Structure formats: structure tokens, C-alpha cells
Amino acid sequence: MSFTAIIPARFASSRFPGKALADIGGRPMVVRVADRARESGARGVYVATDHRDIAAAVERCGHQAVMTRGDHATGTDRIAEVVERLGLGADDRTGPHTCSSDSACGYAGSGDGDSLPFDPGLG
């Protein structure tokens, strides 16, 4: 099965600003999530973000970042922007499904930038 993983990651969290960049064992949290997404077998892994520092951290570690608008109300909105910009379609198996740090992913092609840990075998 071929799918694309899109990980929404914003900087402006009301409870923990910059959480996506929090150091987890020497790497930013969002990078660890992208690492796991890559291990899932996704044919493409993108971090959708509205913040240059997140994009820079992701790219420094070999992942792809896509800059999005800053006015999205949800991570799903951020994913939808990236799906449209990259021209991904229904065959790409990227859905409105998201994973959060409080839930497990079943069949999902996206996850939040703080989805630690998730099983890469779920892809």
C-alpha cells in the first residue's frame, strides 16, 4: 500500500509554545515523529508547519517541510493545504485522519508533530 504522511506541527501552542521543537533525547520532538513516519513505509513524509524554526529543524535532519498559512484552526486544515499544494489525490492514501499524543492511529497517513510514540508498522 502506498501512502503519504503529513505531520502538522505548529509553534504557537497555548500550553507549551514551541512543543514541536522540544528536545527528546537530542532531537526535536517533531523530527522524532517524522523519523517514525519514515519507518512506516510512507512513500513521502512532510511536516506541515507555519513556523520557520520548525521547518529548519526538520530539514536539518533530512525531512521535508512545507510552509503553510498561519491561520489554520486545526491540524487537519493544515494537512488539507499541503495535500492541495502537492497535488495529492485519493490514490495517495492521505486522509483527514490524524494521530494525537492521546490516541492510537489505525490506518492513517498523517500524525501530529507531538505523536510520540506511534508504531511505524501502522502505515
pLDDT tens digits, 80-107: 999 999 888 655 554 444 444 322 232 3
Query: Is there a contact between 34 and 118 (Cβ–Cβ < 8 Å)?
Result: no
Kindly tell me if the per-residue pLDDT of 4 is higher than 50.
yes
Closest CA to 20 of 111, 86, 104: 111
What is d(CA 52, CA 62) in angstroms, rounded to the nearest whole number? 15
What is d(CA 109, CA 68) in angstroms, rounded to the nearest whole number? 18
Peptide bond into 8 cis (omega under 30): no
What is d(CA 18, CA 91) in angstroms, rounded to the nearest whole number? 33
Give residue 67's pLDDT: 97
Give residue 15's pLDDT: 87
Give residue 48's pLDDT: 94
Q: Enter the pTM of the model.
A: 0.76
